[in-house]
């Protein structure tokens, strides 16, 4: 008979999922930065790469709090979102709409992360994992700020340039 799965098991599995996602995002961001035509968008991707490195470290601290080894579990959702980004880079290379597409792909990533971190915070609080909750809240705040920055870049620069062409 299999062990009954608990909220702590679900928390741990979801933690592995977002850890995998963050590692994949770290490898995708330099490619997106290189592909970006707008200096402002490129800078946003580069800044988010630095933040993501800190987010991975925070996740490793959460694993530590659980007494677990930090390791990822394949996240099909993030793989699909990143594949869409690769497709945009390929199909729109050199096109005026490339940056708008890259930005949209990046926001899909942010929205996925925001959803995951919000859930993990709620579960951490339910499980009495105070340090984990605080670390996850720091990351969630960064993800929300990145999403706002991307929206601002879309409205002020990228979408207008794609439209004008």
pLDDT at 165: 66
4-8, 25-29, 94-98, 101-105: range with lowest mean pLDDT:
94-98
39-48, 119-128, 146-155, 156-165: range with lowest mean pLDDT:
156-165
CATH topology of domain 7-159: Ferritin (1.20.1260)
Between CA 54 and CA 62, with CA 60 as vertex, the angle to 5 degrees is 110
3-state class (DSSP) for residue 8: helix
pLDDT at 101: 94
What is the average per-residue pLDDT within 93-117? 94
Q: What is the pTM of this model?
A: 0.93
CA-CA distance, 75 to 103, in Å (whole number)?
Answer: 21
Long-range Cβ contacts of 48-57 (<8 Å, 24+ apart) = 48/106, 48/146, 51/142, 51/146, 52/22, 52/25, 52/26, 53/26, 54/142, 55/22, 55/139, 55/142, 56/19, 56/22, 56/23, 56/26
pLDDT at 70: 96
């Amino acid at each position: 008979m299999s062990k009954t799965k608990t909220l702590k098991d679900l928390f741990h599995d979801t933690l592995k999922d977002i850890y995998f996602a963050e590692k994949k995002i770290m490898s995708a961001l330099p490619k997106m930065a290189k592909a970006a035509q707008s200096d402002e968008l490129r800078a946003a991707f580069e800044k988010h790469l630095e933040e993501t490195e800190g987010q991975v470290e925070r996740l490793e601290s959460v694993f530590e709090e659980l007494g677990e080894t930090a390791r990822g579990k394949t996240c099909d959702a993030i793989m699909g979102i990143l594949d869409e980004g690769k497709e945009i880079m390929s199909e729109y290379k050199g096109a005026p709409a490339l940056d708008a597409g890259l930005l949209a792909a990046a926001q899909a990533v942010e929205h996925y992360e925001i959803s995951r971190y919000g859930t993990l915070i709620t579960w951490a609080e339910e499980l009495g994992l105070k340090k984990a909750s605080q670390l996850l809240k720091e990351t969630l705040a960064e993800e929300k700020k990145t999403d706002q920055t991307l929206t601002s870049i879309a409205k002020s620069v990228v979408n207008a340039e794609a439209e004008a062409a």
